[in-house]
Amino acid sequence: MKHKITTALVGTLCGLGLSSAIAQTTVSGNLNLAYHAVSVKSVMAGSGSYRTTGQETQINIQNKGTLSNGMAYAAGFSWELDGNEALGDSTAGSASDSSNGRNENTYIDLYFNKDTYVSISSDHILNSDNTLTNLVGWGYLGAQGVNNSTSLYPTSFNDSGYGIGVVSNLGPATFAIGYQPNPGKAGGSADTGHNAKAGEDSNSNSKVEATIRGDLGVKGLDVLVSAAWQDAAGVASTGTVPKDPNGRRVAAKYNFGSVTVAADYIKLAGQNITSAGTQGGATAGTATTTNAHELTGKSAAIAYAITPALSVGYTRSIGETNQPGFADEKVNMFAVGYNLGAVVLQAQHRDGQGLGGGTGDAGKGQVTSFMLSTKF
């Protein structure tokens, strides 16, 4: 449920005495509570089978209305806290970080017309961070956490950095293009005027990401195509020259009646990985630092709605790296979802091998998860 507050704003802007027109404020949020059971074939990097819980809480505040020059606008921000995250910096005086929940969906949008607007924002406009092949479950593909590994399947190439973008509704699809001047500091500097210094900077080059998504005029179809361009930051910590972290993604899903099918292809260069094993020169459970990995993810999925409230789904995913000595990551995921109205119950089971590129038993494991979620 969303709560709407209509206010007449009379505050000034930059001391110039400029005031907005009547505006409408909307407050919404969500709460997710999860349980995970992880089991491994071979214990490495100090991790064995374990059970854990997880949570996500998020509050969204949006304001929209009309400016004094007649332009429509929308502005807002979200606070998202996952697990033990906090709204404060982990290090006093450090730059903001997009992982601590303060830079979730933060934006000011200015509309040229009802279909096109310019956005100064973070984590807001259409981008590659969409997993179309997890039809019934939740989260990214792969099986994170087994032997402290991370999945070879790229999640996206969007890092939620602050920037400027243009979004346009073309009818059969929506197109968005965004420019981030410093994606390495996704949260920006600590405030708007007092920390313009080298300590608030990073060595990341600017990034451009373009995405188009829509049904292309076909009922039941959902297609996403996205690409990102960024030059590598320079020589890696090992003295090697990293690859440019460019990315490409093509994904689609199609619903016909009670059945939905989907496919996804993503490639992302200039990456580090955390493997479940010691192959390829990697240390189990420790991230590489060469930025040399070009990761590829391929997946296909099918889902069936047994009733309007109950659905089941299956996803097969393969993650690969171009570096020698690492196994392909292959994961089978089964999911079920039950809509109880105000609350949704989901369960998913992931069975994988080659997790994080680990070979043999080191790369084998399973993750079973349950989640209750609600929105308000």
The answer to whether 356 and 150 are in contact (CB under 8 A) is yes
pLDDT at 273: 67
How much is the pLDDT for 246? 81
- State the CATH architecture for 3-375: Beta Barrel (2.40)
**Residue 234's pLDDT is what?**
61
The pLDDT score that the predictor gives to residue 32 is 95
**The two structure tokens encoding residue 236:** 């890696």
So what's the pLDDT on residue 19? 47
Per-residue model confidence (pLDDT) at position 89 = 46
Instruction: Determine the Cα–Cα distance for residues 205 and 218; give it in Å rounded to an integer.
Output: 39
pLDDT at 191: 55
Structure confidence at residue 348 (pLDDT): 95
Length of the chain as a residue count = 376
What's the confidence (pLDDT) of residue 24?
Answer: 86
Q: How many CB atoms lie within 10 A of CB 168?
A: 16
Residue 112 contacts residue 320 (beta carbons within 8 Å) = no
Radius of gyration of the chain (CA): 22
pLDDT at position 282 is 58
Using DSSP bridges, classify how beta strands 104-113 and 72-82 pair: parallel, antiparallel or unpaired.
Answer: antiparallel
Strands 116-122 and 72-82: unpaired
CB 339 within 8 A of CB 346: no
- Number of Cβ within 10 Å of residue 229's Cβ equals 15
Tokens of 326: 């690492």
pLDDT tens digits for range 134-169: 999 998 888 776 666 788 888 887 777 789 999 999
- What is the chain's pLDDT, residue by residue, as a tens digit (376 residues)? 555 544 443 333 344 344 445 568 999 999 999 999 988 876 554 556 788 888 999 999 999 999 999 999 999 999 888 776 555 544 433 333 444 456 788 999 999 999 999 999 988 999 999 999 999 999 888 877 666 678 888 888 777 778 999 999 999 999 999 998 877 665 555 555 544 555 455 567 778 999 999 999 999 999 999 998 877 666 555 556 666 778 899 999 999 999 999 999 999 887 776 665 555 555 555 666 666 778 889 999 999 999 999 999 999 999 988 888 888 899 999 999 999 999 999 999 999 888 888 778 777 888 899 999 999 9
